Amino acid sequence: MIASEEYTIACNGIKLKDKVKDSRYIELNHDKECDNVNTKINLNNFVSEIFKLDDRLKDLLEMAGYIFAADRKTYRGGPEDLEYHSWARSLNFHFTVRDYDFWTRTDIQNLLKKSLLFMSGDHSYDFNFYKAETDFPTSFFDNENFVMDKPENMKVMLFSGGIDSLSGAIKLLETTDAEICLASHQSGFPGTHTKQNTLFEELKRLYPNRCKHFKYECGLCEQKAKDETQRTRSFLFTSISFAIAHTYGQDKLYVFENGITSLNFAETQDLMNSRTSRTTHPKTIRHLEKLFSAIAERPFKIEHPFLYKTKTDVVEVLKKYDKLELLNNSVSCSETRGKGPMNSHCGTCSQCIDRRFAVYATEVEDYDEQGLYGFDFLKEDLEEGKTIKVLTEYIRMAQNYADSGLEEWYEDRGYELTEIIDYIDGKNPNEKFEKLYDLCIKHSKCIEKAINKMNEKHNPVFSPAKSEKSFFNMIIGSRLYQKEVERESGNGKMEIPTRQLKNLAKKACENLIFEGSITTILKESKTDKTLSKMVTNEIKKKYKMTIKNEKSLSDYFRKLELQLKKDKDKNLIVVANKSR
């Protein structure tokens, strides 16, 4: 396997410092009876709100809280740390659990690992479980003799307070008569709490006796996080929703996020691996469904109704049901720091930019420009290289969609599509590809419409000339997004060591097998290079790959110098053969 940063994380009173001789040893504790409480996991209050939670679900929520805290506590890498080993960590967790026999099962641990590996992009997860000696007191009803009411007409959904989850809640409230349970994670950022609570109060006012709001508080205590990418937040978020749904006898939960964000095709090569969010990716959702079904001991479904909607479509939901006044209180920003005290959005992250293009495409920008943004790229000069890059790549992606026919679009994104196509519904692969392609084309048209609207409002023909550093001159006027990106620039990645390509290819292929991206024997040919493309993309997470490297790698598999086989136990392995 490819090298990675290794961390040992001992949770909730477990002490291994004397046994682990490594500077990357971390203790996380939330129990006030433990020394050095550094993590906030308010499970007690959460259970009291629901009235009752079984031991297995308490374990799940506690583990999810600690995994999220460890995700923020361990460094994944900064903007310039592009090597695979910086962005992919190996995390070895030690947990106390109530349902020890369940969590120590090999099949359950494998389901946990598969879910976390793909959504986080990390290298490995390992779990060590210890039988918990005592449990905390929760509520009067939290005992085996208390029987919960199981409402027939209830829907449980993730509620972050962003546009997508807000529109999803409105959609359910307008199109069903069900009681809607909003499940939220709240950490240490009061602005997010306030916005979630404000939106809930508005929904209660607009839809009396239709909504409940369950909040699970967890995060780091008064510490600055070392990493803010929060890739495992989706595990925490869905675990909260699953715990509520299962406790109330429901067999599904709802996740609302637009398809472009969920699929998250890499805009540039350095957005691969952990930098590309996989929080609601179809593969993530299917892995979580399997895990939750095993925990529930019955089939459990995660519905994703907005998978084939663009961000513009999502804003259209608020417009359709005349709920645009709620837009101002929704929060899309991914940055947790660096915003002004009066701003809920930084204005420069990809989520902020996506939001602004969507509201302009929907022509409802007046509802969204009430001092929300710390930086307004439509009115202020572009000074930061990062902001220029995000804007340019965002528009370039839309242009690439617009310029591609179905076959070219498929060819450019073949590797990413292999991690989607088996996890979405459809009659056959061609139908699935066409639905995804249509989504991308629709997105590109929305971006074009938004740019035209921005020009019309902020840069009309007879208005004074804009600064050379303005969005309209630097990016739109110069067509910066149409300029070629050097394919072999390497983006600061390492050169492949002499005579190590074959060895790296073998390790990369083993890694793809381990994480479940390759599950069957694939054969390379001059016309079918699926295998070598997957391995190439895996190596590119850390190293520069030239066209010559890619050809050599394909030859290794085509000439069987590297070969996929099954061992005697029917496990998929990679065999290195001598050159012929």
Give the domain ranges of the chain. Answer: 5-131, 154-334, 335-485, 491-576
Q: What is the pLDDT of residue 281?
A: 94
In the DSSP assignment, the letter for residue 510 is: H
The residue that leads in pLDDT, 567 or 362, is: 362
Element spanning 47, H or E: helix 43-50
How many angstroms separate the CA atoms of 459 and 445, rounded? Answer: 20
Mind spelling out the 3-state secondary structure of 135-180?
CCCCCCCCCCCCCCCCCCCEEEEECCCCHHHHHHHHHHHHHCCCEE
Give mean pLDDT, residues 29-53.
Answer: 81
Q: What is the pLDDT of residue 476?
A: 96
Q: How confident is the model at residue 529 (pLDDT cuts 50, 70, 90)?
A: confident
The residue that leads in pLDDT, 232 or 166, is: 166
Q: What is the pLDDT of residue 260?
A: 94
Q: What is the pLDDT of residue 76?
A: 60
**CB neighbours of 455 closer than 8 A, spacing ≥ 6?**
472, 476
Q: What is the pLDDT of residue 252?
A: 97
Could you report how far apart the first and last alpha carbons of the chain are, in Å?
A: 26
Using only C-alpha atoms, the chain has a radius of gyration, in whole angstroms, of 24
Q: How confident is the model at residue 149 (pLDDT cuts 50, 70, 90)?
A: low
The residue that leads in pLDDT, 252 or 146, is: 252
Q: How confident is the model at residue 162 (pLDDT cuts 50, 70, 90)?
A: very high
pLDDT at 256 over 80: yes
Strand pairing of 301-303 and 252-254? parallel
pLDDT at 121 over 90: no
How many angstroms separate the CA atoms of 243 and 292, rounded? Answer: 9
Q: How confident is the model at residue 230 (pLDDT cuts 50, 70, 90)?
A: low
- Write out the DSSP string of 486-502: PTT-GGGPBPPPTT-HH
Give mean pLDDT, residues 182-207.
Answer: 86
Q: What is the pLDDT of residue 487?
A: 45
Element spanning 112, H or E: helix 106-120
Q: How confident is the model at residue 146 (pLDDT cuts 50, 70, 90)?
A: very low
- Write out the DSSP string of 505-549: HHHHHHHHHHTTS--S-----SS--HHHHHHHHHHTTTB---HHH
CA of 260: how far to CAs of 48, 85, 131, 401, in Å? Answer: 37, 28, 43, 12
pLDDT at 269 over 70: no
> Residue 508 corresponds to which tokens in the numbers above?
């990369």
Q: What is the pLDDT of residue 491?
A: 52
The upper half-sphere exposure of residue 271, i.e. CA atoms within 13 Å in the direction of its Cβ, equals: 16
In the DSSP assignment, the letter for residue 464 is: P
Q: What is the pLDDT of residue 72?
A: 83
How many angstroms separate the CA atoms of 72 and 62, rounded? Answer: 16
Q: What is the pLDDT of residue 151?
A: 77
Task: Give me the phi and psi of 51, to 5 degrees please.
Answer: 95, -40
Mean pLDDT of the chain: 86
Place of tokens 């090999």: 106
> Residue 547 corresponds to which tokens in the numbers above?
């066209």
Q: What is the pLDDT of residue 114?
A: 93
> Residue 195 corresponds to which tokens in the numbers above?
């916005």
Q: What is the pLDDT of residue 136?
A: 57
Give mean pLDDT, residues 493-512.
Answer: 83
Tens-place pLDDT, residues 14-25: 888 877 776 688
pLDDT at 266 over 90: no
3-state secondary structure of 345: strand
pLDDT at 303 over 90: yes
pLDDT at 219 over 70: yes
Q: What is the pLDDT of residue 486?
A: 47
Q: What is the pLDDT of residue 190?
A: 61
Q: How confident is the model at residue 414 (pLDDT cuts 50, 70, 90)?
A: confident
State the pTM of this model. Answer: 0.81
Tell me the fold of 154-334.
Rossmann fold (3.40.50)
How many angstroms separate the CA atoms of 210 and 164, rounded? Answer: 19
pLDDT at 107 over 70: yes
Angle, helix 547-558 to helix 501-514, in steps of 10 degrees: 70
> Residue 264 corresponds to which tokens in the numbers above?
């998250």
